[in-house]
C-alpha cells in the first residue's frame, strides 16, 4: 500500500486500462493502482487474434497466448485482479461492487471496459452454438476449430468478419459468408463499388457468399457472428451518466460531473478533435493506447502529479489484410457524402486503388487498397494533408 493510502481502480485489463495504469505510475502518483479484468488473462494484443494462424508458418511451436502477450507487464506497483468483474459502481460513494462479493473503495477511477461482440439473438439462443470473436478464449476456440473442422460460416461484413474469412482460408478451410441485402464486404465503410470488387476478390479466393440472415447452417460446423459491438457500460448504470453510446467524456477523458472518474479506449466517446462539436468513439488499438495514456495523465494531474496532455494529436487510421490484399483506411469515410478516385481502378483493388472521401467538398477520409504498395507514398501524403487540415474537417463537420 502506498504511503498516501490512496487507491485507483482501473476497470478493464485491455490495452487502454494498462496504458492508463502505466501513465499513472510514470507520473509518480502516490497510490496503489489496481486493474480489474473479467478475463483470466493479462493484457494481450487483441488485433493479433485474427492476424495469422497458429503455429504460424516459419515459427513452429509458437502458441497464440504467449505470442500475443503485451510486454512490460510485471511492474510491482500494479495489482492485477484477473477473473474479477466489476458488477456495479457507485460513483457518489466511490465504491465498486465486485463479482466476488467484495467491495473496493477508490479515490480515482479509470473506465476501460471496452466493448463486446454484438449477437443477433442477444445471447446463446437457437439450436446451434453461435460463436463470437472478441476475447482470447473465443479466439483460442475458433483457431482450434478452424485447424480441425475444415469449414466455417461467417455472418458479418466488417473488419473482423473479413479478417476471419481470410484467416480461415490460411487454415485451408471452406469459407461461407452470409450476406444480408446491401451488406457486402466493407460496404458500410467503403461504399458499393469497392464492396462489389472486394466480394469478387473474396470469391476468387474460394469464399462462397450465401444470402441470408445470421442463421447457423444445419450441418453444425463452426458458425461465427461478427456483426458489430456493444460498449460494456451496464455496470455503470444508476449513476446518471450519458451511456447512450459508450461513456461520454471531455477532451481530457474526464467523465463530466465527476472530478475523479476518467474513461478510455473503445468504450470512451470523446469530442472529435477533427470535427468541432461532434463526439466520436473509435474502436482502434492505437486509439486505446493514446486515450489510455491521456486518461492516466489527466487523473494524475487531478491528483497534483504530472501535467495532462491538452489533447489527442492522433488521427484514426488502420490496416487490414484480406487474402493478400492490404486495406488501409484513415479518417472517417462514413461521414462522407461523396467519394473520388485519386489513383487506380476501384473495380480492381488488387492493382491498387486510392479513394478520397469528401463531405461538403472537403476531404474527411482516405482509403487505399492494393496487393503491393504502388501508391503508398501518395496515400501517406493524403493522410498527412487530412491530418494537417483539421480546420477543413471542422468546416466539413
Ligand X SMILES: Cc1cc2nc3c(=O)[nH]c(=O)nc-3n(C[C@H](O)[C@H](O)[C@H](O)COP(=O)(O)OP(=O)(O)OC[C@H]3O[C@@H](n4cnc5c(N)ncnc54)[C@H](O)[C@@H]3O)c2cc1C
* Residue span binding ligand X (CB under 6 A) among the ranges 22-30, 109-117, 169-177, 206-214: 109-117
Contacts with ligand X: how many residues (CB under 6 A)? 35
Residues 6+ apart with CB under 8 A from 187: 157, 195
Pick what 354 binds: ligand X, other proteins, none; C-beta below 5 to 8 Å, kind-dependent: none
Q: What number of other Cβ atoms are within 10 A of residue 148's Cβ?
A: 10
Nearer Cβ to ligand X, position 36 or 357?
36
Using CB under 6 A, which residues numbered 156 to 215 contact ligand X? 160
Q: Are strands 95-98 and 86-90 parallel, antiparallel or unpaired?
A: antiparallel
- Cell numbers representing residue 311 in the block: 489533447
CB of 22 to other proteins, least distance (A): 12
Residue whose C-alpha is closest to residue 233's, from 224, 225, 241: 241
Q: 39 or 225, CB closer to ligand X?
A: 39
Main-chain phi, psi angles of 13, to 5 degrees: -100, 25
Residues 17-46 that bind ligand X (CB under 6 A): 17, 36-39, 46
- Residue 177 C-alpha cell reads as 459468408
Q: Is 12 in the site for ligand X (CB under 6 A)?
A: yes
Q: Is 16 in the site for ligand X (CB under 6 A)?
A: yes
Nearest CB to other proteins, comparing residues 107 and 371: 371
Q: Is 275:335 a contact under the CB 8 Å cutoff?
A: yes
**In sequence order, what are the beta bridge partners of 292?**
none
The minimum distance between CB 59 and other proteins, in angstroms, equals: 5
Whose Cβ is closer to ligand X: residue 302's or residue 318's?
318
Angstrom CA distances, 72 to 45, 277, 286, stand at 13, 37, 17
Round to whole Å and give the CA distance between 24 and 306. Answer: 9
* Site of grid cell 451488406: 183
Work out how close the CB of 327 gets to ligand X at its nearest, in angstroms, rounded to a whole number.
Answer: 10
Query: What, of ligand X, other proteins, none, does residue 376 touch, CB below 5 to 8 Å by kind?
Result: other proteins
Among 27, 16, 95, smallest CA distance to 303 is for 27
Where is 145: in which H helix or E strand? helix 136-149
235 binds, among ligand X, other proteins, none (CB under 5 to 8 A by kind): ligand X
Q: Which of residues 218-277 bind ligand X (CB under 6 A)?
A: 232, 235, 265-266
Question: Which does residue 56 bind out of ligand X, other proteins, none, counting CB within 5 to 8 angstroms by kind?
Answer: other proteins
**Which residues in this chain contact other proteins in the complex, by CB under 8 A?**
45, 47-48, 51-52, 56, 58-59, 70-71, 285-286, 289-290, 317-319, 321, 326, 328, 330, 370-374, 376-377, 380, 383
Identify the burial level of 16 via C-beta atoms within 10 angstroms of its C-beta, where 0-12 means exposed, 13-18 middle and 19 or more buried.
buried
When CB distances are held under 5 to 8 angstroms depending on the partner's kind, the choice from ligand X, other proteins, none that residue 59 binds is other proteins
Stretch that binds ligand X, among 15-23, 102-110, 214-222, 293-301 (CB under 6 A): 15-23
- List b or e across 28-40, with b for residues whose CB sees 16 or more CB atoms inside 10 angstroms: ebebbbbbbbbbe
DSSP 234: G
Burial of 354 (0-12, 13-18, 19+ CB in 10 A): buried
Contact flags string 123-142 toward ligand X, x per CB under 6 A: ----------xx--------
Number of Cβ atoms within 10 Å of the Cβ of 134: 18
Q: Which of residues 306-325 bind ligand X (CB under 6 A)?
A: 318, 320
Does 284 interact with ligand X (rule: CB under 6 A)?
yes
Backbone Cα Rg of the chain? 22
How far, in Å, CA of 265 to CA of 282, rounded? 8
Of the ranges 111-119, 169-177, 270-278, 381-389, which one interacts with ligand X (CB under 6 A)? 111-119
Nearer to other proteins, 56 or 85 (CB): 56
Positions touching ligand X (CB under 6 A) are: 11-17, 36-39, 46-47, 49-50, 85-86, 112-115, 133-134, 160, 232, 235, 265-266, 283-286, 288, 318, 320
Amino acid at each position: 500500500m502506498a504511503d498516501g493510502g490512496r487507491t485507483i481502480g482501473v476497470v478493464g485489463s485491455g490495452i487502454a486500462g494498462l496504458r492508463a495504469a502505466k501513465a499513472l505510475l510514470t507520473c509518480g502518483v502516490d497510490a496503489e493502482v489496481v486493474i480489474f479484468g473479467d478475463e483470466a488473462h493479462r493484457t494481450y494484443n487483441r488485433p493479433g487474434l485474427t492476424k495469422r494462424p497458429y503455429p504460424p508458418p516459419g515459427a513452429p511451436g509458437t502458441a497464440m497466448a504467449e505470442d500475443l502477450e503485451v510486454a512490460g507487464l510485471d511492474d510491482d506497483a500494479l495489482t492485477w485482479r484477473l477473473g474479477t468483474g466489476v458488477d456495479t459502481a457507485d460513483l457518489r460513494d466511490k465504491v465498486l461492487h465486485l463479482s466476488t462479493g467484495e467491495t473496493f473503495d477508490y479515490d480515482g477511477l479509470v473506465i476501460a471496459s471496452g466493448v463486446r461482440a454484438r449477437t443477433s439473438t442477444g445471447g446463446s439462443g437457437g439450436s446451434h452454438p453461435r460463436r463470437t470473436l472478441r476475447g482470447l478464449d473465443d479466439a483460442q476456440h475458433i483457431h482450434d476449430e478452424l485447424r480441425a473442422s475444415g469449414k466455417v460460416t461467417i455472418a458479418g461484413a466488417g473488419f473482423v468478419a473479413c479478417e476471419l474469412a481470410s484467416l480461415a482460408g490460411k487454415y485451408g478451410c471452406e469459407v461461407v459468408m452470409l450476406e444480408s441485402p446491401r451488406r457486402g464486404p466493407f460496404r458500410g465503410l467503403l461504399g458499393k463499388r469497392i464492396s462489389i470488387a472486394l466480394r469478387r476478390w473474396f470469391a476468387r479466393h474460394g469464399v462462397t457468399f450465401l444470402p441470408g440472415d445470421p442463421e447457423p447452417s444445419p450441418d453444425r460446423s463452426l458458425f461465427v457472428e461478427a456483426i458489430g459491438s456493444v460498449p460494456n457500460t451496464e455496470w455503470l448504470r444508476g449513476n446518471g451518466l450519458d451511456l447512450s453510446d459508450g461513456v461520454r467524456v471531455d477532451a481530457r477523458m474526464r467523465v463530466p460531473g465527476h472530478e475523479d472518474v476518467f474513461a478510455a479506449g473503445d468504450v470512451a466517446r470523446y469530442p472529435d478533435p477533427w470535427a468541432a462539436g461532434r463526439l466520436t468513439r473509435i474502436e482502434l488499438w492505437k486509439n486505446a493506447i493514446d486515450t489510455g495514456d491521456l486518461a492516466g495523465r489527466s487523473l494524475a494531474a487531478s491528483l497534483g502529479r504530472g501535467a495532462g496532455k491538452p489533447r489527442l494529436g492522433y488521427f484514426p487510421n488502420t490496416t487490414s489484410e484480406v487474402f493478400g490484399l492490404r486495406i488501409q483506411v484513415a479518417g472517417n469515410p462514413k461521414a462522407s457524402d461523396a467519394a473520388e478516385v485519386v489513383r487506380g481502378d476501384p473495380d480492381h483493388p488488387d492493382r491498387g486503388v486510392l479513394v478520397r472521401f469528401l463531405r461538403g467538398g472537403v476531404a474527411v477520409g482516405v482509403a487505399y487498397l492494393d496487393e503491393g504498395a504502388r501508391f503508398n507514398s501518395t496515400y501517406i501524403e493524403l493522410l498527412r494533408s487530412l491530418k494537417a487540415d483539421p480546420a477543413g474537417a471542422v468546416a466539413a463537420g
